[in-house]
Homo-oligomer: A and B are copies of this chain.
Amino acid sequence: MTPLRFAAIGLDHSHIWGQVELLRRAGAELAAFHADEHGLAEPFADRYPGARRVDARRILEDDGIALVVSAAIPCERAPLGIAAMRHGKDFMVDKPGMTSLAQLAEVRQVQRETGRIYSICYSEHFATRCTVKAGELVAAGAIGCVINTTGLGPHRLDPKRRPEWFFRREQTGGVLTDIASHQCEQFLFFTGAPDAEIVAATVANRANPETPELQDFGEILLRAGDATGYIRVDWFTPDGLPTWGDGRLVILGTDGYIELRKYLDPSGQPGADHLILVDRDGVHRIDCSGVELPYGRQLVYDIRERTETAMPQARCFHAMEIALKAQALAERS
């Protein structure tokens, strides 16, 4: 079978490296890329010498390219994805997939019209082995019916390393749109709910007055049927933590619970992807190092077979809709 050929447009967030690699591991071939900024293009060209650096139009008009991937500045992602879909291509984008409810409405409409795939790479799920494993356990009934998820998503700010756009509300979409969208997707995934009601939402700048548009703290309380979910995100990872964030998720079921310590187990065991399952039989620490990350393989399959195995299109959009509505609610209050 000929490898699926794809191209990257917009390398502004370093998540692009993960997006490209998960496709290459699935056998796809990076054919071309585009970035306006030489400083972003150069290391990319060095790493992928087989990919031509061309302008965006050349990529969109190349019938040999099936998929466009992007980690452009967040507010530029939806227009790019719409252009890609209108050119008959599928699209896989870093989260947030869009930065306003208006963009989401237009993306949804074009996706429906064109029948193309608009996939948002919620990496705290798809690129995290313990999250994938937790999904398997919950689906197998290991903790009964899920009634609550509580997720903490601290991130390291490191302001000197950040580009100008990172500190602009209009360009990022705000803290809930940007980093809580991960957890909105996981709430839907783990509860199986098609959508969720936003009970409450907060955004704030608690301790970064020199960058007033930065929202350094955010939270959402969600409800869907018999389940509720609390999401807390922030840019307060202390310098002393050996990784970018102590991401946690506790999934409470009627017959047990699962705790994920996604990126490290602080003062505990080495490595990442710590999964602790507590059920009627005991406390189990489950090794996730051998868990496959199926998102790339499934997305390549979906592109060929026009299926939705990597993530239902509806969940992809609903997760962003929840985050965007929570963002709007929090900014009104």
**A interface with B by C-beta (< 8 Å):** 144-145, 147-148, 150, 152, 154, 199-200, 202, 204, 206-207, 217, 219, 221, 223, 226, 228, 230, 232, 234, 236, 238-242, 246, 250, 252-257, 259, 265-269, 276, 278-285
Contacts and interface: CB of A to CB of B under 8 A. Distances in A.
A242 B255 CA distance: 15
B150 A240 contact: no
Given A230-B232, A254-B206, A241 B144 contact: no
A240 B148 contact: no
Contacts of A278: 238, 240-241, 246, 266
A contacts with B: majority SS = strand
Contacts of A284: 267
B230 A150 contact: yes
Contact of A283 (B207, B241, B279): B241
A25 to B, nearest CB: 30
30 contacts: A145-B206, A147-B217, A147-B236, A150-B152, A152-B250, A154-B257, A200-B200, A200-B221, A202-B223, A202-B228, A207-B254, A219-B221, A219-B228, A221-B221, A221-B230, A230-B230, A232-B252, A236-B252, A238-B256, A238-B257, A238-B279, A238-B280, A240-B280, A240-B281, A240-B283, A242-B283, A246-B257, A266-B278, A267-B276, A268-B268
A332 to B, nearest CB: 14
Given A154-B257, A230-B230, 7 more contacts: A148-B217, A148-B232, A200-B200, A219-B221, A230-B232, A238-B255, A259-B266
Given A148-B219, A204-B226, A267-B285, A279 B154 contact: no
Contacts of A206: 145, 147, 226, 254
A250 B240 CA distance: 17
Contacts of A281: 239-240
Copies per complex? 2
Contacts of A241: 278, 283
A201 to B, nearest CB: 10
B226 A230 contact: no
Nearest to A282: B240
Contacts of A234: 147-148, 252
What 3 pairs between A and B have smallest CB-CB spacing? A240-B282, A207-B254, A267-B285
Contacts of A269: 268
A217 B217 CA distance: 27
A152 to B, nearest CB: 6
A312 B143 CA distance: 41
A230 B238 CA distance: 21
Contacts of A147: 204, 206-207, 217, 234, 236
A279 B240 CA distance: 5
B236 A257 contact: yes
Contact of A236 (B152, B202, B219, B254): B254
A242 B281 CA distance: 10
Contacts of A199: 200, 221
A234 B206 CA distance: 31
Contacts of A252: 154, 232, 234, 236
